[in-house]
C-alpha cells in the first residue's frame, strides 16, 4: 500500500491553484481504495480459510452468480453511504466462502500446496507490479474500457458454456482469457482513479477485488492443469 501524504507537498498556489484540489481528491480516493482493498482481501482470506477448514460445500454456479450479482447490485446502490462499506465486506466475504471449497479441491491434488502458494504469489506480484506501473507512469489506460467490457462478457459466456457442456479445453482458454482481462482491469481501474475517472473508493475497491479474485482463480486453474500432467 502506498503511503500518500499529499498535504506535505508544497504546491505554488499561483501555478497549480486549479489542480491542487483534484490532486488531493485523487490521492484520497487512491489511499482509501487501497486501505479498504487490503481489509477486504484479509476478510476474504479468513472466510476462505474457514470454509476450507470446515469443508463447506460449494454453493454451485447458480447460487454463486445470484449471490455475487445481488451483493454487487446492493453495493452499487449503497456506494455513497457508510452501508456501502459493509456491503463490500458482505460481497468479498461471500466470494471468499466460494473460494474455500475450490482451495480444498486443489490442496487435495499432488503438490497442491505448492500450486496454491504459487498462484497466490503470482497474483500478488502481478497486482503490485501493474498497480505500481499505473501509479508511477501515470499513463491513461481509459481507452481499454470498451475492449475489457466486451472481453469480459465473451469470456463469461464462454465460461458458462464450458461449465454446462463440460469442455476442459474451453475452460483452460477461459482461464487464460480471464487472467489477461483481470490484468487489464487492474491497469484500467488504477488509471481511472489517478485521472479522476473513478471518484468512489467503494466501487474502485470492488473492481480491483474482483480483478484479483479472477486473476487468482485463473492462475490456480492453469497451474492445476499443468500440475496434473
Query: What mean pLDDT, rounded, does the chain reach?
Result: 85
CA distance 14 to 32: 29
CA distance 185 to 208: 8
**Is residue 2 packed enough to be buried (19+ CB in 10 Å), middle (13-18) or exposed (0-12)?**
exposed
Look at residue 124 and tell me whether its pLDDT is greater than 80. yes
Alpha helix positions (H), 108-167: 112-137, 145-164
Could you read off the pLDDT of 47-96 as tens digits, one per residue? 999 999 999 999 988 999 999 999 999 999 999 988 999 999 999 999 99
Residue 101: Cβ within 10 Å count: 16
Cell output for 2: 502506498
Cell output for 43: 476478510
pTM of the entire predicted model: 0.85
Q: Where are the beta strands (DSSP E) in the chain?
A: none
Domain range annotation of the chain: 16-228
Exposed e or buried b per residue across 29-52, where buried means at least 16 C-beta atoms within 10 angstroms of its C-beta = bbbbbbebbeebbebbeebbeebb
Q: What percent of the chain has pLDDT over 90?
A: 55
Structure confidence at residue 90 (pLDDT)? 96
Look at residue 2 and tell me whether its pLDDT is greater than 80. no
Structure confidence at residue 33 (pLDDT)? 93
* Residues whose CB is less than 8 angstroms from the CB of residue 213 and which lie 6 or more positions away in sequence, other chains included: 44, 95, 99
Structure confidence at residue 162 (pLDDT)? 83
Structure confidence at residue 228 (pLDDT)? 65
CA distance 113 to 108: 8
Look at residue 147 and tell me whether its pLDDT is greater than 70. yes
Structure confidence at residue 43 (pLDDT)? 96
**Is residue 157 packed enough to be buried (19+ CB in 10 Å), middle (13-18) or exposed (0-12)?**
exposed
Q: How confident is the model at residue 127 (pLDDT cuts 50, 70, 90)?
A: very high
Could you read off the pLDDT of 8-52 as tens digits, one per residue? 333 333 333 344 446 777 788 889 999 999 999 999 999 999 999
Q: What percent of the chain has pLDDT over 70?
A: 89
Residue 171: Cβ within 10 Å count: 17
Could you read off the pLDDT of 199-208 as tens digits, one per residue? 899 999 999 9
Q: Per mean pLDDT, which range of 13-17, 87-91, 138-142, 181-185 is the poorest?
A: 13-17
Amino acid at each position: 500500500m502506498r503511503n500518500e501524504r499529499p498535504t506535505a507537498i508544497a504546491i505554488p498556489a499561483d501555478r497549480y491553484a486549479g489542480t491542487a484540489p483534484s490532486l488531493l481528491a485523487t490521492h484520497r480516493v487512491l489511499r482509501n481504495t487501497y486501505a479498504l482493498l487490503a481489509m477486504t482481501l484479509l476478510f476474504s482470506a479468513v472466510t476462505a480459510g474457514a470454509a476450507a477448514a470446515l469443508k463447506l460445500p460449494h454453493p454451485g454456479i447458480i447460487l454463486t452468480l445470484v449471490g455475487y450479482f445481488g451483493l454487487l447490485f446492493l453495493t452499487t446502490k449503497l456506494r455513497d453511504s457508510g452501508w456501502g462499506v459493509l456491503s463490500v465486506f458482505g460481497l468479498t466475504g461471500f466470494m471468499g466462502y466460494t473460494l474455500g471449497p475450490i482451495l480444498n479441491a486443489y490442496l487435495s491434488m499432488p503438490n497442491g500446496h505448492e500450486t496454491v502458494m504459487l498462484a497466490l504469489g503470482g497474483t500478488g506480484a502481478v497486482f503490485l507490479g501493474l498497480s505500481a506501473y499505473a501509479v508511477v507512469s501515470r499513463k491513461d489506460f481509459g481507452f481499454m474500457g470498451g475492449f475489457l467490457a466486451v472481453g469480459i462478457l465473451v469470456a463469461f459466456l464462454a465460461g458458462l458454456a464450458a461449465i454446462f457442456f463440460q469442455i476442459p479445453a474451453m475452460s483452460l482458454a477461459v482461464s487464460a482469457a480471464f487472467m489477461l482481462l483481470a490484468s487489464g482491469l487492474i491497469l484500467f481501474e488504477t488509471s481511472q482513479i489517478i485521472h479522476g475517472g473513478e471518484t468512489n473508493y467503494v466501487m474502485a475497491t470492488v473492481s480491483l477485488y474482483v480483478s484479483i479474485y479472477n486473476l487468482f482463480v485463473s492462475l490456480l486453474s492453469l497451474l492445476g492443469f499443468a500440475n496434473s500432467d
